[in-house]
Chains A and B, each alone.
Chain A
């Protein structure tokens, strides 16, 4: 019996190895992703193109302008006399921010009347918009603090901020765990679903079903090669992250790899389930896409924080395996914690594996009858 199973697995392996094109892409993918994520996916705002609206330049506004330019983040692309000229810059994506000075800036400053400064940003991207505002405000505040004062200075509470576990808020460190979840899902769930439903479409699954192989053996044989591939992918991604970006691995690598395998098995189960519920490759792909890729990227906390989502989506996110895996991977890599902090998440994944695998084997058996 085991011989048949081994032979079957070898056959499946050959199928995958023969398809060079897919294999190359499959092995390259994690590398490309890590590099892309690491180099290109940043949300920090470094180069703000600024339009200065200065109706009547005077030494005080010039000083503040120089101050803004010296801050390093701002680049003045134009100086306009009125706010009306600003809109076209924004619409054509030639500027991100406009700062307009009070026409009687120096005079008011001198007479302690608090001259106005208007910071207008292109807030079509709210995130970048607020960040740019905060930067500009900080520059103006520090300029204000250095202006000659009469009397005592203001009271100040200085917050000493520390970003624990990721001091520089390096985005690679945050994305890599999510990325691994994504790669594992893609290879495990999507590829399995398509490969199984392909046999179905071609009618070869019937042949397999009348062979002496048991349903669970067919599933195991179909699934194992992809498990190996998924694991290889996760390892490549981890090595790339470590070599190129020196992403930290503070916890136990062994535990992380074990969790990767656990997560792959859940995803494989979903793949099998999808394949047994659908009839054609196209439909299988669509369902797998909707059932795995979308939730894994959006409802997992990989890009957008779960805590920001509406209540119902937070509840819904609990059935997304990637959501638990990301907590585990971040915990191990960034915080260096072990099972004593992560046992709950691991247990959830294990339970999911059990439920999904049972369901998958069952729905497969049902087709026999």
Chain B
């Protein structure tokens, strides 16, 4: 009896979802647009930086330095003059991102004392850009001073040297996409899971059809199961679509087990849907539902390590982040996809997610009973 009821209800919910073509299209399009835009927008790599040159030395060494910068392909000369004031105006007007200044004593100092200084001034209005450009510039200057050293003083080789090799594991090419795409997938599941659940139930409330359902002999658990299951499956379909796009269009590696990721997603979605359900029980209108879920999702996402690493946060924020389901799921997804982590590696986060899922669901269910009685 109960299962037949559930089946009928489920049928109704699926019909409702598939009838709303606009909504459906949006839901399917969203992963694609997000992945396409986000994955190419989310990068800190700097292609070319505009350099304003203030060369007060005009020596072979100072010119050599500028040549090396330009030869690297990452720097482009936008202006040059001996006046620091003009250079600063270029910085203020966003015509230059960096000023390279060599004082008039640059080459002389270099020859006499072995140490010459240059000035690097960045437009730190765009902090990320300035930081990355700085590290490029430092590398080139370092290489140039070694080059000069070898030419002027072959004795340099007499000093002890350490041969430093570096290697970046899991992401040899340092491709930012590989890191962002798993995170974006998680964001997607979160938005679909939480927001749509909240809106879906509140919509019935707003239209008054929830009251109609409440006076039927339908058990609440059946009603809620019928509401949650379709959204749960839709979110999983979105995940599948997203994974395909990631794999075949963006070439994101998938080193771990697909099964493990699906299992983790199933558990995580229960949490996301549970939160959406809880939101829907506390609000009256779709506007409120949207606003509150949006607020929650924003906090979740910002504290999840999606954009900035959790380990850079202050200690208290790291503890708070432990209670954030999104943080755990993003970590699991990245570990499985990029590092090929197995069940044993992600077990801890998986257990935390399971506990959260049970808590969210029971809490929301109890809340639901209260408000509708």
User: Given known contacts A290-B33, A305-B129, A313-B41, is B309 in contact with A117 (CB within 8 Å)?
Assistant: no
In the docked arrangement, what's the CA distance between A21 and B293, Å? Answer: 13
Check if A140 sits within 8 Å of B162, measured CB to CB.
yes
Check if B92 sits within 8 Å of A305, measured CB to CB.
no
Let me know if A366 is at the binding interface, CB within 8 A.
Answer: no
Check if B287 sits within 8 Å of A281, measured CB to CB.
yes
In the docked arrangement, what's the CA distance between A125 and B283, Å? Answer: 38
Minimal beta-carbon separation of A355 from chain B (angstroms): 23
Most chain A CB neighbours (cut-off 10 Å) among B94, B121, B175, B203: B94
User: Given known contacts A25-B292, A154-B146, A160-B120, is B41 in contact with A129 (CB within 8 Å)?
Assistant: no
Let me know if A298 is at the binding interface, CB within 8 A.
Answer: yes
Let me know if A126 is at the binding interface, CB within 8 A.
Answer: yes
Check if A120 sits within 8 Å of B167, measured CB to CB.
yes
Question: A89-130, CB under 8 A of B: which get 1 and which 0?
Answer: 011110010000000000001001011111111111111111
User: Given known contacts A115-B163, A149-B158, is B114 in contact with A157 (CB within 8 Å)?
Assistant: no
In the docked arrangement, what's the CA distance between A202 and B348, Å? Answer: 48
Let me know if A254 is at the binding interface, CB within 8 A.
Answer: no
Of all chain B residues, the one with the shortest Cβ separation from A41 is: B308
Residues from chain B with Cβ under 8 Å of A127 in the complex: 44, 176
Tell me which residues from 273 to 328 in chain A have a Cβ below 8 Å from any Cβ of chain B. Answer: 278-283, 285-287, 290, 294, 298-299, 301, 303-305, 307-310, 313, 327
Let me know if A163 is at the binding interface, CB within 8 A.
Answer: yes
Minimal beta-carbon separation of A154 from chain B (angstroms): 5
Check if A305 sits within 8 Å of B128, measured CB to CB.
yes
In the docked arrangement, what's the CA distance between A109 and B160, Å? Answer: 6
Let me know if A339 is at the binding interface, CB within 8 A.
Answer: no
Let me know if B168 is at the binding interface, CB within 8 A.
Answer: yes
> Which of A2-10, A187-195, A259-267 faces chain B?
A187-195
Selected from A21, A154, A190, A290, the residue in CB contact (under 8 A) with B145 is: A154
Minimal beta-carbon separation of B50 from chain A (angstroms): 9
Let me know if A152 is at the binding interface, CB within 8 A.
Answer: yes
Check if B199 sits within 8 Å of A44, measured CB to CB.
no
User: Given known contacts A153-B114, A283-B26, is B34 in contact with A191 (CB within 8 Å)?
Assistant: no
Minimal beta-carbon separation of B212 from chain A (angstroms): 18
Of all chain A residues, the one with the shortest Cβ separation from B160 is: A147
Of all chain A residues, the one with the shortest Cβ separation from B305 is: A125
Check if B171 sits within 8 Å of A285, measured CB to CB.
no
Residues from chain B with Cβ under 8 Å of A313 in the complex: 37, 40-41
Check if A150 sits within 8 Å of B163, measured CB to CB.
no
In the docked arrangement, what's the CA distance between A283 and B26, Å? Answer: 8
Check if A151 sits within 8 Å of B159, measured CB to CB.
yes
Check if B308 sits within 8 Å of A42, measured CB to CB.
yes
Chain B contact residues: over half helix, strand or loop, or mixed?
Answer: helix
User: Given known contacts A91-B345, A127-B176, is B114 in contact with A40 (CB within 8 Å)?
Assistant: no
| Total A-B contacts with CB atoms under 8 angstroms apart | 344
Question: B107-129, CB under 8 A of A: which get 1 and which 0?
Answer: 00010001111111111111111
Tell me which residues from 150 to 201 in chain B have a Cβ below 8 Å from any Cβ of chain A. Answer: 152-153, 155-172, 174-176, 178-179, 199
Of all chain A residues, the one with the shortest Cβ separation from B301 is: A297
* Chain A: interface residue total (CB-CB under 8 A): 112
Question: A239-268, CB under 8 A of B: which get 1 and which 0?
Answer: 000000000000000000000000000000
In the docked arrangement, what's the CA distance between A120 and B302, Å? Answer: 28
> Which of A166-174, A209-217, A230-238, A346-354 faces chain B?
A166-174
Residues from chain B with Cβ under 8 Å of A45 in the complex: 309, 311-312
Let me know if B338 is at the binding interface, CB within 8 A.
Answer: yes
Residues from chain A with Cβ under 8 Å of B294 in the complex: 186, 190
Let me know if B45 is at the binding interface, CB within 8 A.
Answer: yes
Check if B303 sits within 8 Å of A157, measured CB to CB.
no
The number of chain B residues touching the other chain, given as a range, is: 35 or more
Check if A166 sits within 8 Å of B163, measured CB to CB.
no
Check if B44 sits within 8 Å of A305, measured CB to CB.
yes
Of all chain B residues, the one with the shortest Cβ separation from A157 is: B145
Residues from chain B with Cβ under 8 Å of A286 in the complex: 23, 26-27, 30
Check if B339 sits within 8 Å of A21, measured CB to CB.
no
In the docked arrangement, what's the CA distance between A40 and B307, Å? Answer: 11
In the docked arrangement, what's the CA distance between A26 and B287, Å? Answer: 12
Check if A155 sits within 8 Å of B165, measured CB to CB.
no
Minimal beta-carbon separation of B331 from chain A (angstroms): 7
User: Given known contacts A90-B169, A149-B159, A309-B41, is B153 in contact with A159 (CB within 8 Å)?
Assistant: no
Residues from chain B with Cβ under 8 Å of A129 in the complex: 168, 171, 174
Check if B164 sits within 8 Å of A156, measured CB to CB.
no
Selected from A124, A143, A169, the residue in CB contact (under 8 A) with B334 is: A124
Check if B37 sits within 8 Å of A294, measured CB to CB.
yes
Check if B169 sits within 8 Å of A118, measured CB to CB.
no
In the docked arrangement, what's the CA distance between A4 and B290, Å? Answer: 31
Minimal beta-carbon separation of B335 from chain A (angstroms): 7
Residues from chain A with Cβ under 8 Å of B58 in the complex: none
Residues from chain B with Cβ under 8 Å of A331 in the complex: 125
Residues from chain B with Cβ under 8 Å of A156 in the complex: 114-116, 145
Of all chain B residues, the one with the shortest Cβ separation from A312 is: B40
In the docked arrangement, what's the CA distance between A85 and B311, Å? Answer: 23
Question: A348-369, CB under 8 A of B: which get 1 and which 0?
Answer: 0000000000000000000000
Residues from chain A with Cβ under 8 Å of B288 in the complex: 19, 21-22
In the docked arrangement, what's the CA distance between A228 and B161, Å? Answer: 65
User: Given known contacts A119-B165, A137-B166, A307-B46, is B122 in contact with A162 (CB within 8 Å)?
Assistant: yes
Let me know if B277 is at the binding interface, CB within 8 A.
Answer: no
Minimal beta-carbon separation of A52 from chain B (angstroms): 15
Most chain B CB neighbours (cut-off 10 Å) among A116, A137, A165, A298: A165
Check if B339 sits within 8 Å of A90, measured CB to CB.
yes
Residues from chain B with Cβ under 8 Å of A109 in the complex: 160, 162
Let me know if A334 is at the binding interface, CB within 8 A.
Answer: yes
Let me know if A337 is at the binding interface, CB within 8 A.
Answer: yes
A191-B291, A307-B49 known; 6 new pairs, CB 8 Å cut-off, are: A21-B288, A22-B291, A119-B165, A298-B42, A305-B46, A330-B126
7 A-B pairs with least C-beta separation: A123-B168, A163-B124, A155-B149, A126-B174, A151-B158, A166-B124, A149-B159
Chain B residues at the A interface, C-beta cutoff of 8 Å = 20, 22-23, 26-27, 30, 33-34, 37-38, 40-49, 65, 88, 91-94, 97, 110, 114-131, 134-135, 137-138, 141-142, 144-146, 148-149, 152-153, 155-172, 174-176, 178-179, 199, 203, 282-283, 285-288, 290-292, 294-295, 298-299, 302-303, 307-309, 311-314, 317, 331, 334-335, 338-342, 345
Can you give 14 contacting A-B residue pairs, CB < 8 Å? Answer: A19-B285, A21-B292, A45-B312, A96-B311, A137-B166, A140-B164, A152-B158, A161-B120, A169-B127, A174-B125, A190-B291, A283-B23, A305-B128, A341-B92
